[in-house]
Structure 1
Amino acid sequence: MTGFEGFGGPAVRRAIVIADDAIAAEDAAVAARAAGVQVGDTIGFAALAEALDAIPHADLLLVEAAGIAPALLDSVLPMLALRAQRDRAQIVINFPLDLLDLVSLHLLGGPATLLCDARPEERVAAIALSGGIGGGVQAAERDAERLRRLNAEIARIAEALLKLSRDGPGGDGVRDRAADFVAPPTDDSAPVEITAATVRGAIRARRLRDQYFADGLFADPAWDVLLDLFAARLEGLTVSVSSLCIAAAVPPTTALRWITAMTDAGLLMRREDPSDRRRAFVTLTARAVAGMEGYGQAVAKAGLGWA
């Protein structure tokens, strides 16, 4: 009985492991069992096309991509995405940093959790969170709470940007929550030029803080992502997923969660690189651009610097 153990019993999710390395496959299986998932077949990448047609339904596809040639991975990831769509399954893929752009091209924004050089506890949490949490996995519960906070923060940022684009500088969208700051009167008919140098200066100032305070104290990946993409837009440059993860100033797996959440919130969108089909670019949506421009105008006319 797929997905259930007896009527009214606890749901039992079943996983397929896709890996060439025996140690990596065992690590994935151990993480799955720790998250309360039943592990079935293990399939190698070379035999994936034939094996996928022969094996039964799976709720979870656990993929270990370390050591896999980019060309082979490029060919099998679309198969896995189609299988996940057919089975209404989730993909949890662990991969090295040099494959980040390729994996993101095929799986970012889909039914997949992307883990870059993940630690064992990150694997357990990701598996447990992909379609429901089993009982008693403390690491997964902590990660679930962080994910809820992340989504709430993304929603808040999206709403703030929407207000900025709708209300304009000085409107309700830029009023301090405590109402203890009032911007000086401004001439809204004279727009202020927003330059890439100004935005890049804000980014450099944010990174300087890390030299004087503990790592992670000022982590704000969503704003770092927005600043980097806005500066790139002003410069006429494109930004790859891997470059954006660096700009987010957090570990790649964390950055990918933020990028995914911001894409779902309508702030970011992905575009394929026409000159390299194994890479994708990330850009701001029109909604996010309007919000960033509104914010830039507001802080400039209030005599403030970019934060």
Structure 2
Amino acid sequence: MTAISASQRKRQVAPPSPAVDQMTGTTDKPAEILAGVASNEGTDAVFAAVAHRLYEERRRRDRVMADHGSLFGEPSWDILLDLFISLGASRQVSVSSACLAARVAQSTALRYVGELELAGLVFRSPDPHDGRRSHIALTGIGLTRMRDYLAGVG
């Protein structure tokens, strides 16, 4: 048996580059994701309406269950819905705006943004006009998974 160094082991188990989605072959570049949205414009408009309805239903549920609101929180899902809706409207979303959409404390929302990044569902990019701010968007796989889910909700 040949001994494998720790650095070789890391290279062997390292995840694929986040730039290319291994399931769909799409990239995480915003322009290419937006081009993909344009090619699915009619379908994505329907999906965006479904996503918007789901997001609004969650807000309604929050109001009705205000006394028990902490039992029903899903910040990651709220962020994903917001990003899908914004993508359909060709709006960039700042990380702070995504945190507001999650309807939790900013530190909690930032933790969820980090988890979504690690899962490969979202990515951050710097704001070219404001070095203090970054934007967040769905990755190719995040977009595909959201489409798959929303297609089943109809």
Query: When the two structures are superposed, what TM-score results if normalisation uses the length of structure 2?
Result: 0.67
The answer for unaligned runs of 5 or more in structure 2 is 1-21, 25-41
What SS does the corresponding residue of 1:216 show, helix, strand or coil? Answer: helix
Report whether the alignment pairs 1:283 with 2:137: yes
Aligned twin of 2:83: 229
Q: CA shift at 1:197, angstroms? A: 2.9
Residue 276 of structure 1 aligns to which amino acid in structure 2?
A: D
Aligned twin of 1:25: none
Alpha-carbon distance in structure 2 between the residues aligned to 1:212 and 1:201: 16
Aligned twin of 2:14: none
The answer for unaligned runs of 5 or more in structure 1 is 1-161, 166-191, 301-307
What SS does the corresponding residue of 2:71 show, helix, strand or coil? Answer: coil
Aligned runs of 1:27-38 on 2, under 5 Å? none
Aligned twin of 2:44: 194
1:259 to 103, 113, 124: 113
- Cα deviation, 1:4-50, whole Å, max 9, x if unaligned, reads xxxxxxxxxxxxxxxxxxxxxxxxxxxxxxxxxxxxxxxxxxxxxxx
Q: CA shift at 1:299, angstroms? A: 2.3
Identity of aligned residues (%): 38
CA RMSD of aligned residues (A): 1.9
- Cα deviation, 1:198-224, whole Å, max 9, x if unaligned, reads 321211110111111122121011111
In terms of Rg, which structure is larger?
1
Alpha-carbon distance in structure 1 between the residues aligned to 2:153 and 2:49: 15
Aligned twin of 2:34: none
- Cα deviation, 1:271-302, whole Å, max 9, x if unaligned, reads 111222221000111111011111122222xx
Which contiguous aligned blocks of 4+ residues in structure 1 show a shift greater than 3 angstroms? none
Alpha-carbon distance in structure 2 between the residues aligned to 1:193 and 1:290: 12
Contact kept, 8 Å, 2:123 with 2:136, in 1: the verdict is yes
Alpha-carbon distance in structure 1 between the residues aligned to 2:101 and 2:153: 22
Alpha-carbon distance in structure 2 between the residues aligned to 1:255 and 1:208: 20
Alpha-carbon distance in structure 2 between the residues aligned to 1:233 and 1:220: 20
Contact kept, 8 Å, 2:50 with 2:150, in 1: the verdict is no
Alpha-carbon distance in structure 2 between the residues aligned to 1:272 and 1:202: 29
Contact kept, 8 Å, 1:221 with 1:258, in 2: the verdict is yes
Alpha-carbon distance in structure 2 between the residues aligned to 1:294 and 1:197: 14
What SS does the corresponding residue of 1:279 show, helix, strand or coil? Answer: strand
Q: Report how many residues are paired.
A: 112
Contact kept, 8 Å, 1:230 with 1:284, in 2: the verdict is yes
Aligned twin of 2:33: none
Alpha-carbon distance in structure 1 between the residues aligned to 2:53 and 2:148: 18
- Cα deviation, 1:115-157, whole Å, max 9, x if unaligned, reads xxxxxxxxxxxxxxxxxxxxxxxxxxxxxxxxxxxxxxxxxxx
Instruction: Select the structure that is richer in helix.
Output: 2
